[in-house]
Amino acid sequence: MHPDRHDTWVVIAAYNEGAVIRDVVLGVAREGWSVVVVDDGSRDDTADCARSAGVTVVRHAVNLGQGAALQTGIDFALRRGARHIVTFDADGQMAVEDIPVLIAALDAGADIALGSRFLGTVEGATRERMALLKTAVMMSNRMSGLELTDAHCGLRAFHAHVAPKVRMVQNRMAHASELLRKIKQSRLRVVEVPCTIRYTAHSMAKGQGGFQAVRILFDYFFRAAS
Amino acid sequence: MIIRVLLLLALAAIGWFIFLRRNKLPFHIVTMFGLLGAGAVAVVVPHETDRIAQWVGVERGADLIIYLSIVAVLFVLVHYFAKFVEIEQKLTQLTRELAILRAEVERVVPPATKVSPSPPASPPASPRPATDDVSELPQ
């Protein structure tokens, strides 16, 4: 259906997502994209569920964190000769239809394309969460020196040759800030693309609260300054 | 005084542990026992430390020891935090290599999805020779 899509690898990091991972993976694979699921040492049947959808599963023997899982997926995709790499969430809050828009941005000359909830649409979020996200965007822009409309939307796409420049060493959630910092440092051409985020009860339960922000800041400033 | 006995016992216990792990550099051992000896002296004649303290500008020897201890503890803390981060990154590297390697192997040998309690009626003929069976290899 889409012969040009097989060398675009969609990296999905999953931790205890057995309930939804199969549907998410099928949705992406049906569109013709290559998919690698990184099971970050889940204690449930995430790996089996993803395998049943017919995609490659790379499984961390121990839980390392989302940043480490994404980087493993990126490394794997590069080994398989990926031309574009897309990062996608496992919890079903992203829309598959946004992927071709990201790739189009890359083809139009961007080094890296980031999804933005605030240019697109957010469904099902509470007022408090939107306020928290807006604050995060302000803080994130201050820290990274970039001027973006969204901070850490997990939907991103970049060329394979850009991957070494945005290599993440932050194992947990601080990888998102690390990525933005590296975009700035390498002066990459970054484009924001509107995307749709649908918060569900499932994804909200696994989402980041204000409390985790302290942990993320600690990681960002005190860990692995490379 | 009881506190002197307790402190000397604690120092002796640390000395014993170092003695048990004495397969290190002689320099290391001498330094450690030197520190322990100095500690023992400070416990037995605490007022002698006052002279050193006053020489560097601190009134009491006990205060000087506390200041030095705090600096030493902070140094150890920073050192082990750096070590911890380093080990964490090595763990990440190992886990990543293992995960990718296993995925590559599973391309050739697909993983068994379910473990069945009873063997299938007619097992598929194995293309491998019987000697591949680990149980038949000489131990």
pLDDT in tens, B52-98: 999 999 999 999 999 999 999 999 999 999 999 999 999 999 999 99
ipTM of this complex prediction, to 2 decimal places: 0.85
Distance, CA of A55 to CA of A33 (rounded, Å):
10
Rounded Cα distance between A176 and A170, Å, is: 9
- Decide if pLDDT at A103 tops 70: yes
Q: Which positions ≥6 away from A85 have C-beta within 8 Å?
A: A8, A9, A11, A74, A77, A78, A157, A158, A159, A160, A163
d(CA A72, CA A82): 14
CB contact B89 to A (< 8 Å): yes
**Which residue in chain B has the smallest CA separation from A73?**
B100
CB contact (8 A) between residue B96 and residue A68: yes
Give residue-wise pLDDT tens across range A108-135. 999 999 999 889 888 887 888 788 888 8
**Residue pair A132/A177 in contact by the 8 Å Cβ criterion:** no
Main-chain phi, psi angles of A196, to 5 degrees: -105, 130
**B133 falls in which pLDDT band (50, 70, 90)?**
very low
Per domain, the residue ranges of chain A are: 3-222
The answer to whether the Cβ–Cβ distance between A59 and B92 falls below 8 Å is no
pLDDT of residue A209: 59
Q: How far is CA B48 from CA A29, B31, B42, B64, B72, in A?
A: 78, 21, 7, 12, 22
Distance in Å from the first CA to the final CA of chain B: 63
The answer to whether residues A92 and A24 touch, using CB atoms and an 8 Å cutoff, is yes
Using the Cβ of A58 and the Cβ atoms of chain B, whether some distance falls under 8 Å is answered with yes
Provide the pLDDT for residue A223.
67
User: Quick one: average pLDDT of B42-55?
Assistant: 90
pLDDT tens column, A60-93: 999 999 999 999 999 999 999 999 999 999 988 8
pLDDT at A38: 96
**Per the CB < 8 Å rule, is B103 touching A59?**
yes
Which architecture, in CATH terms, is A3-222? Alpha-Beta Complex (3.90)
From the number of C-beta atoms within 10 Å of its C-beta (0-12, 13-18, 19+), residue B92 rates as: buried
